[in-house]
Structure 1
Amino acid sequence: MTSQTSRIPAPEQIRRAPKVLLHDHLDGGLRPGTVVELARDCGYTALPEQEADKLGLWFREAADSGSLERYLETFAHTCAVMQTRDALVRVAAECAEDLAEDGVVYAEVRYAPEQHLEGGLTLEQVVEAVNEGFRLGELRAREAGHRIRVGALLTAMRHAARALEIAELANRYRDEGVAGFDIAGAEAGFPPTRHLDAFEYLKRENNHFTIHAGEAFGLPSIWQALQWCGADRLGHGVRIIDDIEVADDGSVTLGRLAAYVRDKRIPLELCPTSNLQTGAAASYAEHPIGLLRTLHFRATVNTDNRLMSGTSMSREFELLTEAFGYTLDDMQWFTVNAMKSAFIPFDERLAMINDVIKPGYAELKSAWLFRQTAGTSGNAPEEG
């Protein structure tokens, strides 16, 4: 009989397993049908497709095209329909519902308030609308029998000059659903050090922040995010693999930056499908997450942009189980890593781990073991 720890989970087990998501963009996770309806409501006529199924396919193909211009165009379409209070409430609520339906029990979803001002909203109104939407989505999820808690990360665009303003906004709403701060956008030419005033402010306020770093630009981006800016987590951080040498005999040597990241338990917000789209790996089997997991880095699994990548947390774990033979034990390891790294108080993180995550995985493992045991005795229950 296959041991319970070596059992590769089936898709339904993966979907039911409690999951934690730290890196997900609100404007990268809309339902295609919602984009179509919101475009019609606001008079936006530039969508490349008018039918939901065709539009969803267009987003995925654009993200896979290898063209940065076409990839960035996808966000122009989603942001264009997220310029009113009602639209933001709807998108945020649907985000929480979709994640909960997929088994996510805790999520931090990021967005840039400065990208939602074209309809006349203020930064404060944007934040309040998104917070309202997340609370509405949490309520609807509970009514549907799911449990989820969603926190917002306010993002500043690294090519702009509003980082300090957005950091102050994140601090102002930190007790009203905003978990922390982030900067995003093209790494090359726009180093995080351009926004040191924002990071120094957040450190003085004892607030949390992550930085998009090591996605495309490489080790200098990671070093600056950590040593100059003091990031709590690395958004992606996948290029840390460039500081790890694997010899022909399989022995591994960590450079000083990689060793620092591992020793300090700095969380890596890895997004496998998105990382493939941006060229960080040629296949899932070659994704650095395999080695990083083996070396016990604080690796986490994330979606990045669910619409553009045609993915979900369950889909990401399915692909990783196929590539690396991961089990429920591995899934639990990644999930606990993520929960340990969340931007909420320690006691609340611990409660989620002990009261929700560990019992959830224990139940799945016990159910599988029961079915295996019953099967060997000829009394396997019917699948339903």
Structure 2
Amino acid sequence: MPRLAYFDCIAGASGDMILGALVDVGVPIEKLQETANSLGISGLQVSVHQVKRGEFFAAKVEVHAPHEHAHRHLHHIEAILNKAALPDPVREKAIQIFRRLAEAEAKVHHTTPEKIHFHEVGAVDAIADVTCSVAGLHFLGVERVAVSVFPLGGGTVKCEHGIIPVPAPATVELLRGFPSRPGPVEAELVTPTGAAILTTLAKPGEQPNFIPQQIGYGAGTREHENLPNVLRVFIGETTLSETADTAMLLETNIDDMNPEFYPHVIERLLEAGAMDAFLIPIIMKKGRPGILLSALLPPEKINEVLAIVYAETTTLGVRLTHITRNKLRRWRERRQTSLGEVEIKFAEWKTPEGQSRRTFSLEFESCKTLARQHNLPLREVYDRLCKELKP
């Protein structure tokens, strides 16, 4: 089963808190130092010590970097990472994190990611935070990352641009689509670095079932009254296959709408990002016939889909449910046949004994095109090609 890291953001998330949690769960500090050394920056040191935050004992990781005033652009950071002696998956994910951060900063400042020059996040210690976090997860064999609701904190914080509200504008952009809640204290709980790492590696709203095997606590720098400043990580195995994911199911019952409008509604929902949308006839209270309109969608598309449902239908409200989908591995191929080229959809799964099984189906539109070209019944084309292509 796929190995999962679930980050429980009790008091938010930052780069050093993520590193502390990973060290506490079993990543050797020597591994982080090795990763930091690979960046080719002299004087970069990673250390750890145990601290107490509230009633929790946690690992406090500190990255000691040479003082500098450099403002790096994205291409500078990518050059550092491309030169570093890192496993390809670590390098690629670290670059993804900085690209996502550059996109968030660019949106805030109304410019392009290439023109963004990083301040705090472009500093050597932040580059080490990101790279060492990805390397730590790679060392643990983590294949999937999930994250809890983000606590937003509150108040203001001073940075190079002056005093700004909490969360910082770039952090807000990074958290877009991820479940969040106000408070619970007036402080910066989620830093841009922490948000960039977790929102790049995790999917919005994904809360998979898993079997915890290791638990670690990473400490933040500040002490909060009545809130232990720790980030907790669970390492375990998911109970579903690696192709499983999470989605939202939107449902609403409608009994007073012109049925001619439904095809248009379905089309709009699919255009807005719904993975599927369908209608089910139902009998409602007082024996009235109605329609159950359902849409399956990624959690980050909920606002767009809701806007269409309320604008295009007569409903006064909807039901929203987080669901887990377990999917077969699937792919498409094009094959030559006696009638011409046809597109085929394949799916693969494993039996309880570990044996691979495969099935396929012909793409309807391909079969329809061939049927018209050869002036044959569609059913005959389908049956003939299935026999030809059957292994």
Pick the TM interval, shorter chain: under 0.3
The structure where strand makes up a greater share of residues is 2
The structure where helix makes up a greater share of residues is 1
